[in-house]
């Protein structure tokens, strides 16, 4: 007979039991997915931030380069303006007439370019102001060129007028000079005579130097077109050694020649001349020293022109020639 065996233990559930590890795996999966998502977002956000930084850096570089270029252009424009002012007084006066406008323009440009954080709009404003400054400079240059052209024309017209005036003056002076020369008296029959004065007052011509007490210059003056009136006649006597016989205490002095230079005269006389006639003239020179042997020359002047000349020789002995 079969023996029935009974199990007295705790009755089990029917079927296999699910492990606890499945639940934990789900949790871990969710956590890992969240972590991966977080990392992905962080990577994406970092990537976007990097791109934005690159864009901003590029924009900053662009602004910096633009500011540097504008600074160079501004320096060049300002240098050209200063150079034009230094070379041309008219340019300086033109610029000074708009001092405040240019000063405000330059001040605004400098303010923008000195600002490292200047915006694109501000740099655009600086660009516009620099272009305006350059345009103003060129406008000034054109104005100066026009004024210089007008000056050249005016100067040319003045030169022509001056040449015409000078030409007329030259002709007039030439005619005047001819009339002046034509009216100068003419001296003829010129004699330079050494005179010996005796104790009784009688005079005689001598040829001996040691006997000569004075020199007498005699001549005639005439001129067909000279007017009637007083004429100053100057006589200049030159000694054998080439020195002029002139002593101020004895009435000698200086007179002006027609070329403007001065000359010493020995004696002077004012002659009353009658137009159309011949007037005899005589002048004596008695010096305070002895006459030396040799050749003496005499020159006669009127109105600065030499109108005659003569010569005499004084010897130690012999006859007067």
E strands, 198-257, where? 203-205, 214-222, 229-238, 253-256
Q: Mean pLDDT of successive 10-residue segments in the chain (321 residues)?
A: 46 52 70 75 70 68 76 80 68 65 83 85 88 79 69 68 66 50 83 90 89 92 87 94 92 92 95 91 91 93 92 72 41
What pLDDT score was predicted for residue 77? Answer: 77
What pLDDT score was predicted for residue 5? Answer: 46
How far is residue 42 from each of residues 47, 51, 53, 172, 186, measured CA to CA in Å?
8, 14, 16, 108, 128
What pLDDT score was predicted for residue 118? Answer: 82
* Domain end call among 119, 147, 175: 147
Structure tokens at 204: 């005689």
What pLDDT score was predicted for residue 318? Answer: 47
Residues 36, 123, single domain; the answer is yes
What does 276-294 look like in DSSP terms, one character per residue?
TSEEEEEEEE--SSPPPSE
Range of the domain at 54: 31-147
What pLDDT score was predicted for residue 175? Answer: 43
Give the 3-state secondary structure of residue 265.
strand
Residue 99 and residue 310: Cα distance in Å, rounded? 78
Give CA angle at 65 (61, 66), nearest 5°.
115
Residues 190, 303, single domain; the answer is yes
Residue 153 and residue 66: Cα distance in Å, rounded? 46
Kindly report whether the global pTM for this prediction surpasses the value 0.75.
no
Number of domains in the chain: 2
């Amino acid at each position: 007979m079969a023996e029935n065996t009974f199990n007295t233990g705790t009755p089990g559930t029917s079927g296999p039991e699910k492990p606890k590890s499945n639940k934990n795996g789900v949790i871990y999966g969710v956590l890992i997915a969240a972590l991966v998502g977080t990392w992905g977002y962080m990577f994406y956000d970092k990537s976007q931030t990097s791109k934005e930084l690159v864009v901003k850096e590029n924009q900053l570089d662009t602004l910096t380069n633009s500011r540097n270029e504008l600074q160079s252009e501004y320096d060049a424009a300002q240098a050209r303006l200063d150079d034009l002012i230094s070379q041309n007084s008219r340019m300086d006066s033109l610029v000074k007439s708009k001092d405040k406008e240019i000063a405000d323009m330059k001040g605004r440009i400098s303010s923008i370019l000195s600002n490292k954080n200047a915006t694109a709009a501000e740099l655009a404003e600086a660009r516009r102001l620099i272009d305006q400054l350059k345009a103003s400079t060129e406008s000034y240059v054109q104005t100066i060129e026009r004024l210089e052209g007008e000056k050249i024309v005016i100067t040319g017209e003045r030169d022509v007028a001056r040449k015409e005036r000078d030409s007329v003056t030259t002709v007039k002076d030439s005619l005047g000079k001819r009339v002046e020369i034509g009216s100068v008296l003419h001296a003829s029959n010129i004699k330079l005579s050494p005179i010996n004065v005796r104790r009784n007052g009688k005079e005689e011509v001598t040829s001996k130097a040691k006997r000569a007490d004075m020199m007498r210059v005699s001549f005639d003056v005439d001129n067909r077109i000279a007017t009637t009136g007083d004429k100053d006649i100057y006589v200049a006597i030159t000694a054998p050694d080439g020195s002029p016989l002139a002593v101020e205490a004895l009435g000698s002095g200086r007179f002006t020649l027609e070329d403007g230079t001065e000359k010493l005269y020995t004696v002077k006389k004012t002659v009353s001349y009658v137009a159309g006639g011949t007037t005899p003239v005589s002048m004596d020179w008695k010096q305070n020293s002895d006459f030396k042997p040799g050749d003496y020359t005499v020159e006669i002047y009127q109105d600065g022109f030499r109108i005659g000349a003569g010569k005499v020789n004084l010897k130690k002995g012999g006859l007067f020639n």
